[in-house]
Structure 1
Amino acid sequence: MAVRRIIPAVQPLDENRIRKSFVNCSKGEAQRLALPAGLAGLDWSEVDFLGWRDPRAAQNAYLVAPYGDEVVGVALRAAAKHRSSVKSSLCAFCGTIHAATDVSLFAARRIGAAGKQGNTVGTYACADLACGLYLRGKRRPAVHNPVDRAPLAERVERMLANVARFLDEVTTNNVG
């Protein structure tokens, strides 16, 4: 399956646009979900995709990203945290290596009939979904990461391609 090209930066989104972007939950669920803290004061110039955890229900997480010519939001469910901080894990989106406790397995229900049948897609990602901050060095993981000498724009493009592949899977209604 071809990866859809996504635009490199998220345009500022308001609450209404964010809630309408969700494709794998009901309109009611999208209306009830907790939006990220500080949304009004967010510096959109460095937001590659919007990802956050629900502070009232930590297993609930959300991802909103430019996808094709639109913005797509998906509701995620985080698995229980790893107990060991000795092991390390890799974020499938940004490629940052973290202590295993700082990477979560996120599952997203597929769209359509496949999702209604319980089909999900999973990926390992930064537990705080702050991939762009790690790429830009504004957050540091607890473990040492090898230096990626590629230009920031190239690393961001790689991350967005990984996000697009995940969204390709979530938006595929493959009942069978």
Structure 2
Amino acid sequence: MLPFTEEQIRTSLINASVRERKNLNLPESFSSLDWKNLDFLGWRDRKYPRLGYLIAWVDGNPTGLILRHIEGRLSSRAQCAWCEDVTLPNDVVFFNAKRGGLAGRNGDTVATLMCAKFECSANVRRPAPPAYVGFDVQAARQERIVMLQSNTQAFLRNMAAGVD
């Protein structure tokens, strides 16, 4: 993934107010991120831990969202809807996000199950356990990376639909 500047991050948030953009806290490790192994930039706000931010390149433009962690208990171990990791190396939680534009201002939101600390890019790059004799681990890894990129793009396009 191509890196983002701080200005691109702040202006990319399609569901944020001017105040929310101004108060955004960049990830602590922002200056040392391994951009080539990221499919999106996601992090939890260190001052407001229930807030998360997610930004990716969509059609050549940085597109981002503010997400809110929804408290609650899941009846069983959840699977992330983005990386679809079946080995569950981390917690998965519900995040809620306002839609962009008029729909979001009218209260329209979408919830999704995601890795609690946005570990999806690392999860899909981990070699999958061989499912059968002759299983191509590298091909499966590449397929998971493409699937995560596709899921990210689709979600952000859906959230941006109708942005004025």
TM-score, normalising length: structure 1? 0.79
Partner deviation per Cα, 1:83-119 (whole Å, 9 max, x = no partner): 77xx3111010001338x8111111111111111100
Gaps of 5+ in 2: 132-136
Letter in 2 for 1:68: D
Following TM superposition, the consecutive aligned residue runs of length 4 or more in structure 1 with deviations greater than 6 angstroms are none
Q: Which residue number corresponds to residue 46 of structure 1?
A: 37
1:23 equivalent among 11, 14, 31 = 14
Q: 1:127 deviation in Å?
A: 0.7
1:102 equivalent among 88, 91, 98 = 91
Residues 63 and 147 (structure 1), Cα distance of their counterparts in 2 relative to 1, 3 Å cut: farther
Q: Is the 8 A contact 2:14 2:63 kept in 1?
A: yes
Residues 146 and 36 (structure 1), Cα distance of their counterparts in 2 relative to 1, 3 Å cut: same
Q: Is the 8 A contact 1:107 1:122 kept in 2?
A: yes
Q: Which residue number corresponds to residue 37 of structure 1?
A: 28
Q: 1:147 deviation in Å?
A: 5.1
Q: Is the 8 A contact 2:44 2:117 kept in 1?
A: yes
The CA distance in 1 between the partners of 2:63 and 2:44, in whole Å, is: 17
Q: Which residue number corresponds to residue 119 of structure 1?
A: 108
Q: Which residue number corresponds to residue 49 of structure 2?
A: 58
Letter in 1 for 2:157: D
Residues 147 and 106 (structure 1), Cα distance of their counterparts in 2 relative to 1, 3 Å cut: farther
Letter in 1 for 2:33: L
Q: Is the 8 A contact 1:115 1:173 kept in 2?
A: no
Q: Is the 8 A contact 2:12 2:55 kept in 1?
A: yes
The CA distance in 1 between the partners of 2:36 and 2:102, in whole Å, is: 37
Q: 1:81 deviation in Å?
A: 4.9
Pairwise CA RMSD: 2.3
